[in-house]
Amino acid sequence: MMQPQEFNFGEHSLCAGVDEVGRGPLVGDVVAAAVILDPNQPIEGLMDSKKLSEKRRESLSIEIKEKALCWSLAVATPQEIDQLNILHATLLAMKRAVMGLSQAPIHVYVDGNRCPEIPYSVEAVVKGDSKIAAISAASIVAKVYRDHQMLELDAQFPQYQFAKHKGYPTPAHLQLLKEHGVLPEYRRSFAPVRRLLEEKERNV
C-alpha cells in the first residue's frame, strides 16, 4: 500500500488532518485528533490506524507527537453522546480537536463525509486516512489514546475485559455486560445498553 500523500498546498502550508475513533463501541468517549505535519520532518509508514499493529501504532503516535508542527486530542463523553447522538458528538469532538491546535490551519481535511462547523476552510475526504498523511497521523494518535482509555477502564473493572474488545459489541462483551450490569461509562442510548436498562426497569 502506498503511503498517503498530503495534497500540495505549498511546502510550508498549515494543513490539518482530522479523524475520530470510537463511534461503534458501547462504552467510553468518542475521541478525535487533529494534526498538522511538518513537511521538513516526514514520518514513514503513515496509513489507516486499523491496518497497523498495536506496537506500530504506539511507536508512530510517539513519533507524530514529536515531529508534527502541532497536534491536539479531544473527546465527547458518553453523556454528550447520549444527549446529542453519536454523529453530532463525533463532530463536536472533531471541532474541539481542531480548535485545540496551537497553530491555526489554512485548510482542514476531515476523514469521512461530514465536516464539523469550524472557522476554517474544511473538506471531507472519504477514506482520507489512506489518502492524506495528516489524516492518517490523526487516526493513529486518536486510536492509541482511546485504546489507552480502554486499558485504564480494564484495570478498574477487569470483569468486563475491556482490554480485549475495546468496548465494541462483541458477543463476549454483550454477555459480560448482561452479567455485570451497566457502568456509568456506558452509552445508554446505544441499543444493547438501552435494552438492558429497560429490562431492568421492567423487572423492578
DSSP-derived secondary structure for 66-96: HHSSEEEEEEE-HHHHHHH-HHHHHHHHHHH
Spatial separation of the C-alpha atoms in residues 118 and 122, rounded to whole Å: 8
Query: Mind listing the pLDDT tens digit for each residue in 114-166?
Result: 999 999 999 999 999 999 999 999 999 999 999 999 999 999 999 999 999 99
Which pLDDT value is given to residue 190? 98
| Residue 11 reports pLDDT greater than 80 | no
Is pTM, for the whole model, over 0.75?
A: yes
SS3 for 145?
Answer: helix
Q: Is residue 34 within 8 Å of 136, Cβ to Cβ?
A: no
Q: 89 pLDDT band (50/70/90 cuts)?
A: very high
How many angstroms separate the most distant Cα atoms in the chain?
64
The burial of 99, by beta-carbon neighbours within 10 Å (0-12 exposed, 13-18 middle, 19 or more buried), is given as middle
Q: 204 pLDDT band (50/70/90 cuts)?
A: low
Grid cell listed for 74 = 479531544
* Domain ranges (residues) in the chain: 1-204
**CATH number for the 1-204 domain, one of 3.20.20.370, 1.10.540.10, 3.30.420.10, 3.40.50.11440?**
3.30.420.10
Mean per-residue pLDDT over the chain, rounded: 93
Q: Is residue 169 within 8 Å of 192, Cβ to Cβ?
A: yes
Q: 1 pLDDT band (50/70/90 cuts)?
A: very low
